[in-house]
Amino acid sequence: NAGVTQTPKFQVLKTGQSMTLQCAQDMNHEYMSWYRQDPGMGLRLIHYSVGAGITDQGEVPNGYNVSRSTTEDFPLRLLSAAPSQTSVYFCASRRQGLNTEAFFGQGTRLTVV
């Protein structure tokens, strides 16, 4: 059971480039989320989804887009990369319900130069 898989693990982008961070889960979880982690800031929510076809914004959505065409996949798109988007990105999934834990991927370390 793979759990939550993120690709790539590392990425360097130039300012203005676009790219997609991939996230896939094989646990049939309804909820999926994207977080970014910066030193001293903890995990901040970018976007989330409660099911296929449904997405919503989190705390720091600017500069990012998401879509949820299937239950398994939840890609995060950077439209025009900026140095402020240098961060570690984590995708998480959870089973629908009141008291369920989140399972995290291993993260994507993104550097924008």
Partner 1 sequence: GESVGLHLPTLSVQEGDNSIINCAYSNSASDYFIWYKQESGKGPQFIIDIRSNMDKRQGQRVTVLLNKTVKHLSLQIAATQPGDSAVYFCALPKNSGYSTLTFGKGTMLLVSP
Using CB under 8 A as the criterion, which residues of the chain lie in contact with partner 1 when the complex forms?
4, 31, 33, 35, 40-43, 45, 48, 50, 58, 90, 92, 94, 97-107
Residue 40 C-beta: closest distance to partner 1, Å: 7
Phi, psi of 78 (to 5 degrees): -100, 120
Cβ pair 25, 103 in contact under 8 A:
yes
Nearer to partner 1, 17 or 106 (CB): 106
Q: How many CB atoms lie within 10 A of CB 80?
A: 11
Q: Which residues contact 57 (CB under 8 A, 6 or more apart)?
A: 47
CB closer to partner 1, 1 vs 14: 1
CA 33 to CA 10: how far, in whole Å? 19
State the minimum distance, in angstroms, from the CB of residue 107 to partner 1: 5
Shortest Cβ 76–partner 1 spacing (Å):
15
Of 75 and 82, which has the nearer Cβ to partner 1?
Answer: 75
